[in-house]
Structures are given as structure tokens and as C-alpha cells.
């Protein structure tokens, strides 16, 4: 498999899995733990697919992105498997991942089957035994491990093992829990039991991949486009927002005389500007009334998260500030840092205008939809206060 051995690609998928696991201010590390444990299992029983198993682990619950709560809470509730939305998350996630170049069908199939049980008692299809993709069983067992650890914090391996026992019975081929047991006893439990140890293990793995400079190749581009769609599915009213913003950014950059290379770079920044929004709970994003102070604080964290995430991807580091500083205002009254004028990178000033233009011209619950001409007039009024006059000057390009 070419692409997933690429460090930038790996970091990008890790970044997505990190943000999917953020709940208000805390990181849950569910996807990381499942990925790292399943990968160790794979190295024992399915070595030729351990890379795919790793990526499948990082993205296994991607299909749960539209749910009101994180799956680690939902799946442990009684009768969870009867909830149609929960039942569908493996299939939904598989459909999204199938489009990622280099991962494709194999990883998608593992995700699709990660809640199937050896004895046929799983979901969504109730498959049995050998009908289940082998990698999926590794994900399932690692998933049970993380859930048991979560409900028994601070316990040692024998206690976690005991907590898993009843749930795991019949769900896996009998030799598989034995493999997990010996790995955990040998070294694995110490490496994955705490979040700090888990982070260390993940960073070691990434650092062992060959380093890269800024580089957005074709598979990365396709993946980033898919991520942009994933960001937008988080919020009922923003379908297509990231892609439209990126399109506007391209128009503005061309009218400002940017080179094709520079324009392409900003397009990526536009696609990922709201990456950090994945961590904002849906109840806040879709709240019909005004937000309270706590909610405002959470929403205002999203640009900081975008910067953090993009900084963690070698190939995208250079555009972290362009993407993340899109809520700063030219007059210094924006957030999160209150930067002013030239302190804000030009790319971010361009994205800010593109973002506002899309917010005004697309359907939003809290404001009337404007025509492009009306939006342009409003942008003009904000010239020098909210927006950079130099960018407002080329805003008519948006109408072409």
C-alpha cells in the first residue's frame, strides 16, 4: 500500500481521529487506543494487514460523527444495538472511508464489520464466523478493551480482562482473546493503559515514518476534500460550506495575482479552515437560540484546534495559520487572539472574507439569506474594520 506509509497522510488521519475523539475540553483517545491495540494484534495474527488494521482503528467510529453523543458512551448503554443510528455507524463509516485513496475497500470492509460477532450476535448484518472480515474482529476486540478500561479506570490488566470476559464470550474466535491476553501481559497493557503512555506510543510510531516537507499530492488532496465534507456533516446548516469557501478563496487569490501554486495552497487551507469544529458538540452548533458564555468559549476554541491539528501534519504545517486565523478581524476585534491588520496572514484575511460571503449567501437559521450583490455591499461596509480593504477590493471577483 503506497499512500498510508506516507508520513503526512498518516499524520492527517491521526489528526482527524484525534479531533473526532474530543469531547468539550477532554480527549477521549478511543480511536488511538483501538488502532494501537488492534495493530499489535494484527502483527501477531494478520501481519500483512497490520497497516490497514491501524488505519481502520483510527477511523472505525467515523460513521458516528452525526450522533448526539460519542459512541463510547452510546454503545455501553443497555439496548444500544437496537438504536438504528448506532446500528448504522459501521456501514456509514465504511462508505466514507471507501473513498480515501490508498485505504479503500480493504479498510472500509474492516470498519463495516467491526461490530459483527463470531457467533452471529453482532450488528449490523449479524454475520457469523469466517464471513466476517478478519481485521474487523481485531478492531472489535480492541474496542471492547478500550470500553472495559474506560469503565474501570486505574485497574490492572487482570481486572480489565475480567470486566471484558462476559462481553467477549462468543464474540470472537476463542484463540483471539488469548493472543490479547499474552500481549497485554508481556508489554502492551503498560503501553496503552494511560493516555500519556498511549501518546508516547503513537508519536513513536509516527516518528518512525520517513519525514516529509510541505507536500500535498493527489491522494492527499482527495482525502482533504473528503475531510472537508466530514467537517460539514457535523452541522446541519453547513453542508458544502468548506468546499464553497475553498472555491471563493481560489477566485480571490487569482484576482489578487497569486501564483497557481500559492492559490492551490490556500485552497487546501480553505477546505480545512473549520477542521477544529469537529470537536464542537452538535447541540451547540445547531442551537437555535443565542449561546451562553460556556458555549461561546467552546465555539471560539475551534480556530485554535484547527491550528493545532494542521501543525501536527508535516505536509500541512505551513498553512496552519492561514487556515486557523479566519476569525481574526482586520481591526483587531476578532478571536481567538485579537490580531490586527498585517499581523494576520494574508491567507487568513482572504479566508475570513470568503467565509463571511458564504455565511451570508447560504441558508442559515439565524439570519436571512442575502443575494451575492447584497453580500458584496455588506463586505464593502466592513472594509477596514472586519475585512482587509485589499481583499475587499477584489471581492467583486466572487460574482464572476
Name the site residues for Fe ion (rule: CB under 5 A): 61, 143, 274
* Residue 317, C-alpha cell as written in the block: 504545517
Q: Which is nearer to Fe ion, 7 or 273 (CB)?
A: 273
SS3 98: coil
72 and 146 Cβ atoms separated by less than 8 Å: yes
- Least Å distance, CB 13 to Fe ion, is 16
Nearer to Fe ion, 223 or 238 (CB): 238
Residue 114 or 265 with smaller CB distance to Fe ion: 114
Written as one string, the DSSP assignment of 239-307 is TTHHHHHHHHHHHHHHHTT--HHHHHHHHHHHHHTTGGGGGS-HHHHT-SS---HHHHHHHHTHHHHHH
Q: Per the structure block, which three cell numbers stand in for 54? A: 491501524
Q: Phi, psi (5° rounding) for residue 246? A: -60, -40
- Alpha carbon 61 to chain centroid, angstroms: 10
d(CA 254, CA 276): 27
The gap between the terminal CA atoms of the chain, to the nearest Å, is 42
User: How many Å apart are CA 355 and CA 369, to the nearest integer?
Assistant: 14
Q: Are 317 and 308 in contact (CB under 8 A)?
A: no
Q: Which residue has the cell 499474552?
A: 182
DSSP labels for 348-391? HHHHHHHHHHHHHHS-BTTBPPPPHHHHHHHHHHTBTTTB-HHH
Catalytic residues: 277
Listed in sequence order, the DSSP H helices in 113-156 are 134-151
Residue 383 pairs with which residues in a beta bridge? 387
Q: How far apart are CA 313 and CA 303, in angstroms?
A: 16
Q: Minimal CA–CA distance to 323: which of 312, 331, 392, 381?
A: 312
CB of 85 to Fe ion, least distance (A): 12
- Least distance (Å) between residue 126 CB and Fe ion: 16
Between 6 and 61, whose beta carbon lies closer to Fe ion?
61
CB of 144 within 8 A of CB of 151?
Answer: no
Rg, the chain, Cα only: 22
DSSP bridge pairs for 367? 364
Nearer to Fe ion, 116 or 274 (CB): 274
Amino acid at each position: 500500500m503506497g499512500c498510508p506509509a506516507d508520513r503526512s497522510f498518516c499524520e492527517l488521519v491521526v489528526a482527524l481521529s484525534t479531533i473526532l475523539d474530543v469531547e468539550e475540553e477532554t480527549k477521549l483517545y478511543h480511536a488511538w487506543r483501538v488502532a494501537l491495540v488492534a495493530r499489535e494484534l494484527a502483527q501477531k495474527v494478520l501481519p500483512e494487514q497490520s497497516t490497514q488494521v491501524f488505519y481502520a482503528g483510527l477511523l472505525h467510529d467515523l460513521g458516528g460523527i452525526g450522533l448526539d453523543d460519542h459512541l463510547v458512551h452510546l454503545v455501553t448503554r443497555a439496548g444500544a444495538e437496537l438504536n438504528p443510528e448506532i446500528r448504522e455507524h459501521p456501514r456509514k463509516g465504511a462508505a466514507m472511508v471507501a473513498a480515501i485513496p490508498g485505504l479503500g475497500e480493504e479498510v472500509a470492509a474492516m470498519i463495516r464489520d467491526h461490530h459483527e460477532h463470531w457467533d452471529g450476535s453482532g450488528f449490523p448484518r449479524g454475520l457469523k464466523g469466517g464471513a466476517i472480515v478478519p481485521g474487523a474482529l481485531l478492531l472489535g476486540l480492541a474496542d471492547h478493551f478500550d470500553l472495559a478500561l474506560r469503565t474501570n479506570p486505574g485497574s490492572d490488566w487482570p481486572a480489565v480482562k475480567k470486566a471484558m470476559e462476559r462481553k467477549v464470550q462468543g464474540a470472537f474466535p476463542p484463540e483471539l482473546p488469548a493472543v490479547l491476553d499474552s500481549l497485554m501481559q508481556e508489554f502492551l497493557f503498560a503501553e496503552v493503559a494511560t493516555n500519556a503512555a498511549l501518546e508516547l506510543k503513537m508519536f513513536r510510531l509516527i516518528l518512525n515514518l520517513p519525514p516529509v516537507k510541505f507536500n500535498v499530492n493527489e491522494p492527499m488532496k482527495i482525502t482533504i476534500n473528503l475531510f472537508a465534507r466530514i467537517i460539514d456533516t457535523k452541522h446541519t446548516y453547513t453542508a458544502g460550506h468548506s468546499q464553497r469557501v475553498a472555491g471563493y478563496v481560489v477566485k480571490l487569490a487569482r484576482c489578487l495575482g497569486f501564483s497557481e501554486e500559492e492559490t492551490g495552497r490556500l485552497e487546501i487551507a480553505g477546505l480545512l479552515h473549520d477542521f477544529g469544529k469537529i470537536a464542537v458538540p452538535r447541540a451547540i452548533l445547531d442551537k437555535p437560540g443565542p449561546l451562553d458564555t460556556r458555549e461561546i468559549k467552546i465555539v471560539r476554541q475551534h480556530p485554535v484546534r484547527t491550528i493545532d491539528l494542521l501543525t501536527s501534519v508535516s505536509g500541512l504545517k505551513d498553512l496552519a495559520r492561514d487556515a486557523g486565523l479566519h476569525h481574526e478581524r482586520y481591526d483587531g476585534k476578532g478571536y481567538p487572539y485579537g490580531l490586527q491588520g498585517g499581523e494576520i496572514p494574508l491567507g487568513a484575511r482572504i479566508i475570513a472574507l470568503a467565509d463571511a460571503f458564504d455565511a451570508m449567501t447560504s441558508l442559515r437559521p439565524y439570519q436571512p439569506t442575502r443575494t451575492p450583490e447584497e453580500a458584496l455591499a455588506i463586505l464593502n461596509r466592513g472594509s477596514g474594520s472586519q475585512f482587509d480593504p485589499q481583499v475587499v477590493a477584489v471581492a467583486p471577483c466572487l460574482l464572476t
